[in-house]
Amino acid sequence: MDLQFLDAKASFEERAAVDALPEGAARDQLLPALHAVNDRVGWISQGALNYICEKLHVPPADAYGVASFYSLFSLTERPERVVHVCTDLACRVNGADTVCDTLTEHVGPAGKARGGVTWLRSPCLGVCEKAPAALAFEAGDPPGTELLAPATGADVVLAARRSPSAEDGAAPVLHQTDRESLRLLRRVGAVDPESLDDYRATGGYAALRNALELGPNGVIREVTDAGLMGRGGAAFPTGRKWEGAARQPALPHYLVCNADESEPGTFKDRVLLEGDPFALVEAMTIAGFATGATLGFLYLRGEYPRARRLVQNAIDVARERGFLGVDIMGHTGFSFDIEIRRGAGAYICGEETAIFNSIEGFRGEPRSKPPFPTEQGLFGKPTVVNNVETLVNVPLILTAGYAAYREIGTEKSAGPKLFCLSGNVRKPGVYEVPFGTTLRELLALAGGVPEGRELRAVLLGGAAGGFVRPDELDLPLTMEDARAAGTTLGSGVVLALDDQADLGGFLLRIASFFRDESCGQCVPCRIGTVRQEEAVSRIVGGRKLSTDADDLALLREVGQVMRDSSICGLGQTAWNAIESAVERLGALSVEES
Amino acid sequence: MTIVEIGLPKRLVEFTVDGETVRVPEGATILDACSAVGKEIPTLCYGDTLKPANACRVCMVEVEGSRTLVPSCSRKAEPGMVVHTDSERTRTSRKVVLELLGSATDLSTTPGVAEWMAETGADPERFGPPAPPSDDRDDALPGEHEPVDGLTAATVRQPVKVDNALYVRDYGKCILCYKCVDACGDQWQNSFAISVAGRGFGARISTEFSTPLPDSACVYCGNCVEVCPTGALSFKAEHDKREDGSWDEAAQTQTTTVCTFCGVGCNLTLHVQDNEIVKVTSPHDSSVTHGNLCIKGRFGWQHVQNT
């Protein structure tokens, strides 16, 4: 490839950041390279991009297209310190606007550099249980991060004026004190997440030992018989997915753990990553063994610095002690390793095929299916993509056996399930319950709505999910009951809104979110999400178009076509929550506006 | 004599389109099959010389058993498939997709689209009057936008980019079909001068750091102009003539000849108006060029008329 470069040179620091990449790095190191420069300098200059492109043999226009896709990168000069203030669903309900107002008053408007800092409004930071939240980054060697949650306006102003205190967040706190009832969360907060010995002392690596005895086919059979379904939202049978990849003749096979938890209101995977990282490492190793993958990628969202530190530690320690690498646990011929790839602020990269493009160093645009990932996935090879919660169920199955696992939950929805409770509840947090627990019971665990308030609605499943009314709280939380009730458990979001919540503003934020996070590849989503936001904004603001368009009819028609004709799940679900607010809560009616 | 590549023998796949049984060679798409039986399906991003990007979603059809509609340009026909190209669902989808495109983009130079809009009853105006043009679309940040009031419909209207003597980029007409990027990149030219930058509604075709073309990796082969379906990319000569109102396609003749610049033997189609060459294209079914040319064949014709 004959590349042509603009006449701009990289600084010493920029070169040093890129030179720290592995020897012989190729295109798939583009995202790590962009991170390296952005982390060290705070933004990516023409010279730095040139240097990256020379090193990785990537055309500069192409690399520019990739860099400009991600919201955590800046391609124009900005201060070393950047503070992201979450203004998404749970934070919005808990006072994010006040935080933003205080910052505007004391630091200046969002996006404007002043006094060595820039603050920005951010989509969900994934710490909804401690809303409102802010995350500060400071470029340097090493770079600094500081998570503020819950944050007051004054806290964030203070954080904007000093270097990050290197606090990447506190350990997750569980409200469920009866630990005997917990399976997925039993180690969270109870063991040292940095200690492999703690992990082994609490049953860690017994599952991998069993797996090695059972053999790959045996493992797949156990997982299939256990009835494990994906916990990322699509609820696909995990055993079938593994089998599909395992029997593909093309080599190598890859495993991707989807830890790009970006659905607003979702933070369960973060709690697992931070609280029990070795369990994920063990689970990925088992998945690699079963599906014939020798390399697994953990695609982790860029907004989770604490999770990254802890999982990287777990990987390194596991490798040192023979639980990763060559001849794992003395099992000759079984090799497997894990690489972390850090996302850079793009919700769409959680889509299973967009992840592949992102890891390969391309724009995080979803691919057309078919072909499905198990046939042609990462680097065109058979690939299994599982999310964090799904994988962490696997060691449970392999220690207790599929029959014991099946006894948890219901006939069609087996096992334990994590839910993320946030919004107007007294004890927000991650809760583990068996499938089949009712929504009322789950809300009661979190203490219900604050004193003196009435529940108005529950957003179930996230921005791509749907609303449930207070008279529907006896809904058993299973995949099949949710489907029958016209909603979805999605990624496990349970966001409560009380009678004081601004439902119109909340819906407008959902519309705005989908517009911001559309990759822009296909017309129904790229333009449909814009028209949806415009129509919701008109209704909420009580404004009419001169054409006298019936905005609800317009929303329905655009929503239907986004659902029918978009390439991927983002566009296909962008109308779900708003539709359900209209149909089930009577929101956006003329009277309301 | 035309040499037709017949390749290895292929199995035939039998399936139904709108109740009619169709047999096509294995590997053919639904769109191929429809064309073979004379059924017209509108397309915009489909390129006869490029891999389907299936981004415009104009060619969506209904396949029984599929949760969503499927792009006919890229979905391969499978035995027993039952396809509907003209159902209520496909008509609504086509209408709304055309409305969305028409509301955001200037489609005045896109062949075919006015008829499809009329056929489907598409009304782009119903989303409101277009917002004023913007001169900073190249700086759009990913994941961020100004709050909207909904009283105007956001568009991609922006000033025309005229930064060289050979071709003009009018991105207010761009529907982001990816064809220019694919033709410039690994599918034909290997220049990689342009890419899609940004994301969502802020996505746009761009050089690195939106630098002007003369500073970019562009080699002025014009193959991007050849594949552009909307006139967002056009010859400077055509652009100027359209501006002064003298562009008259009906009065033009087309003559295909062989390029004389070198020995490769590329086919050129000369478009002549008032005895003057106004643009040069290349036949897409030519086994030499597949529609592609170099800067000389595409743009090097001034000497012919410098008498």
Q: Specify if B65 maps to a domain.
A: yes
Nearest-Cα distance to chain B for A523, in Å, is 5
Check CB contact of A71 with chain B, cutoff 8 Å. Answer: yes
pLDDT of residue A549: 79
- Reported as a pLDDT band with limits 50, 70 and 90, residue B304 is confident
> Which of A50, A66, A78, A526 to mutate to test binding with chain B, by most B CBs within 10 Å of its CB?
A526
Shared domain for A521 and A491, answered yes or no, is no
pLDDT of residue A590: 62
Q: Specify if B238 maps to a domain.
A: no
As to burial, measured by CB atoms within 10 angstroms (0-12 exposed, 13-18 middle, 19+ buried), residue A552 is middle
* Radius of gyration for the alpha carbons in chain B, expressed in angstroms and rounded: 21
- Whether the CB-CB separation of A473 and A438 falls below 8 Å is answered with yes
pLDDT of residue B9: 79
Shared domain for A284 and A302, answered yes or no, is yes
Give me the CATH number covering residue B291.
2.20.25.90
Whether the per-residue pLDDT at A591 is higher than 60: the answer is no
Q: Specify if A206 maps to a domain.
A: yes
Shared domain for A489 and A518, answered yes or no, is no
The mean per-residue pLDDT over the stretch A229-241 comes to 94
Rounded to whole angstroms, how far apart are CA atoms A434 and A410?
8
Contact B97 A71 (CB under 8 A): no
Shared domain for A478 and A513, answered yes or no, is no
Check CB contact of A61 with chain B, cutoff 8 Å. Answer: yes
Contact B201 A537 (CB under 8 A): no
Shared domain for A214 and A354, answered yes or no, is yes
B142, B154, B217: residue with CB nearest A71: B142
Residue whose C-alpha is closest to residue A260's, from A178, A350, A331 = A350
- Reported as a pLDDT band with limits 50, 70 and 90, residue A29 is very high
Q: Specify if B26 maps to a domain.
A: yes
How confident is the model over A376-402, as pLDDT tens digits? 999 999 999 999 999 999 999 999 999
Chain A residue numbers touching B30 (CB-CB < 8 A): none
Whether the per-residue pLDDT at A131 is higher than 90: the answer is yes
Chain B residue numbers touching A6 (CB-CB < 8 A): 208-209, 211, 215
A577-589 b/e (C-beta count within 10 Å ≥ 16 → b)? bbbbbbebbebbe
Whether the per-residue pLDDT at B193 is higher than 80: the answer is yes
Q: Specify if A168 maps to a domain.
A: no
pLDDT of residue A593: 42
Shared domain for A277 and A360, answered yes or no, is yes
Whether the per-residue pLDDT at B101 is higher than 80: the answer is yes
Give me the CATH number covering residue A439.
3.10.20.600
Shared domain for A442 and A462, answered yes or no, is yes
Shared domain for A216 and A314, answered yes or no, is yes
Position B116: which residue type?
W
Q: Could you tell me the residue range of the domain that residue A186 belongs to? A: 180-406
The mean per-residue pLDDT over the stretch B275-300 comes to 95
Check CB contact of A480 with chain B, cutoff 8 Å. Answer: no
Q: In chain A, positions 542-571, which contact chain B (CB-CB < 8 Å)? A: 543, 545-547, 549, 554, 557-558, 560-561, 563-567
Check CB contact of A46 with chain B, cutoff 8 Å. Answer: yes
DSSP string, chain B: -------S---EEEEEETTEEEEEETT-BHHHHHHHTT-----SS--TTS-----S--SEEEETT-SS-EETTTPBP-TT-EEESSSHHHHHHHHHHHHHHHHHS--TT-TTHHHHHHHHT--GGGG-SBPPP-S-GGGPPTT------SSSB-------B--SSSEEE-GGG----SHHHHHHTTTTT-----EEES-GGG-EEE-GGG--GGGSS-----HHHHH-SSSSEEEHHHHHHHHTT---GGG-EEEEEE--SSSS--EEEEEEETTEEEEEE--TT-TTTTT---HHHHHTTHHHH--
Least confident interval from A158-167, A440-449, A452-461:
A158-167
Give me the CATH number covering residue A526.
1.20.1440.230
Q: Specify if A593 maps to a domain.
A: no
Check CB contact of A20 with chain B, cutoff 8 Å. Answer: no
ipTM of the complex, rounded to two decimals? 0.96
The mean per-residue pLDDT over the stretch A143-147 comes to 93
Contact A65 B69 (CB under 8 A): no
- Look up the pTM and report it: 0.96
- Angle subtended by helix axes A268-275 and A305-320, to nearest 10: 40
Number of domains in chain A: 5
Domain end call among A23, A45, A67: A67
The mean per-residue pLDDT over the stretch B72-97 comes to 97
How confident is the model over A495-545, as pLDDT tens digits? 999 999 999 999 999 999 999 999 999 999 999 999 999 999 999 999 998
DSSP label at residue A470: G
Shared domain for A225 and A332, answered yes or no, is yes
pLDDT of residue B1: 46
The mean per-residue pLDDT over the stretch A540-551 comes to 88
Whether the per-residue pLDDT at A141 is higher than 60: the answer is yes
Shortest CA distance from B194: residue in chain A: A61
Contact A538 B142 (CB under 8 A): no
Average pLDDT in chain A: 95
* Radius of gyration for the alpha carbons in chain A, expressed in angstroms and rounded: 23
Whether the per-residue pLDDT at A548 is higher than 80: the answer is no
Q: Specify if A185 maps to a domain.
A: yes
B96, B125, B192: residue with CB nearest A558: B96
pLDDT of residue A169: 76
Contact A523 B144 (CB under 8 A): no
pLDDT of residue A164: 84
Give me the CATH number covering residue A354.
3.40.50.11540
% of chain A with per-residue pLDDT over 90: 92
Q: In chain A, positions 292-351, which contact chain B (CB-CB < 8 Å)? A: 345-346, 348
* CB contact set of A591 (below 8 Å; sequence gap of 6+): none
The mean per-residue pLDDT over the stretch A152-164 comes to 92
Q: Specify if A590 maps to a domain.
A: no
Q: Could you tell me the residue range of the domain that residue B22 belongs to? A: 7-130
Q: Specify if B12 maps to a domain.
A: yes
pLDDT of residue A168: 74
Number of domains in chain B: 2
Q: Specify if A72 maps to a domain.
A: no
Domain end call among B130, B158, B182: B130
A4, A123, A537: residue with CB nearest B150: A537
Q: Specify if A320 maps to a domain.
A: yes
Contact A59 B153 (CB under 8 A): no
Q: Specify if B229 maps to a domain.
A: no
Shared domain for A151 and A216, answered yes or no, is no
Rounded to whole angstroms, how far apart are CA atoms A318 and A153?
41
Chain A residue numbers touching B175 (CB-CB < 8 A): 523
Shared domain for A229 and A310, answered yes or no, is yes
Whether the per-residue pLDDT at A111 is higher than 50: the answer is yes
Q: Specify if A6 maps to a domain.
A: no
Whether the per-residue pLDDT at A122 is higher than 80: the answer is yes
Contact A515 B201 (CB under 8 A): yes
Chain A residue numbers touching B216 (CB-CB < 8 A): 4, 61
Nearest-Cα distance to chain B for A62, in Å, is 5
Shared domain for A255 and A377, answered yes or no, is yes
- Reported as a pLDDT band with limits 50, 70 and 90, residue A546 is confident
Domain end call among B105, B130, B155: B130
Chain B residue numbers touching A348 (CB-CB < 8 A): 199
Q: Specify if B153 maps to a domain.
A: no
Q: Specify if B167 maps to a domain.
A: no
A61, A76, A526: residue with CB nearest B193: A61
Nearest-Cα distance to chain A for B92, in Å, is 7
pLDDT of residue B307: 66
Shortest CA distance from A513: residue in chain B: B143
Whether the per-residue pLDDT at B118 is higher than 50: the answer is yes
Chain B residue numbers touching A65 (CB-CB < 8 A): 195-197, 206
Domain end call among B130, B162, B195: B130
Contact B208 A2 (CB under 8 A): no
